[in-house]
Amino acid sequence: MTIPEKLYPRSGDKQTIYLKNAITKPNISVGDYTMYNDFVNDPTAFENNNVLYHYPVNHDKLQIGKFCSLACGVRFLFNSANHSSKSLSTYPFPIFWEEWQGSPADVASAWDNKGDIDIGNDVWLGYEAVVLAGVTIGDGAIIGARAVVTRDIPPYTIAAGVPARPIRKRFDEPTIARLQQLQWWNWPLERIAANLAAIQSGQIEKLS
């Protein structure tokens, strides 16, 4: 088995794509088999419609792992969406440096830089969920529809709400530890296929 290079994994379905094959920007990386569905806009416009305020001046990155599922309207808000909270004013004076006798080198001081966005493997992001700059979402997590994720979410945790808060773990701690040790998403594709029934039925003891 080989990793598919096709954009549309399902015959006749132009709403669902293998996201990796639609990415062109060097500061966005997406793992194999991660899918994005969009029934409102063209899913291939993901970089422009869903990755927002992601300007090269910041050098911030969006990293999404393998086998993730991104529902329609999921958005990632990067650092340039912020206004500096340290300033006495929230007005972004450095952006308008020509007006205020500033320098283009100071533009990035207009906002707080909270870092990259890192999405693990096998993560499901629900309809219109929003992930803010600086957030890490662990492997196997589930983010509810229209949640706003402002803080890190641990692996295999279900989180929802505004702001998103952990609701419960998907499995007990020994099972989570075993899954993180196995990292099935990094297995050869033939091994994944051979274990698919056990994966889908939740029988970790049958993985081989």
Active site residues: 83
**Dist. CA 73–CA 126, nearest whole Å:** 9
- Using only C-alpha atoms, the chain has a radius of gyration, in whole angstroms, of 19
Q: Which of 207, 148, 152 is nearest to 182 (CA)?
A: 207
Pairing of strands 165-169, 157-160: antiparallel
Inter-CA distances, 23 with 7, 12, 44, 120, 189, Å = 10, 21, 8, 17, 22
H-helix segments, the chain: 46-49, 173-182, 189-194, 196-201
165 Cβ neighbours under 8 A, 6+ residues apart? 159
Which residues does 84 contact at the CB level (< 8 Å), separation at least 6? 90, 92, 109, 110, 111, 112
- Which one-letter amino acid corresponds to residue 53? Y
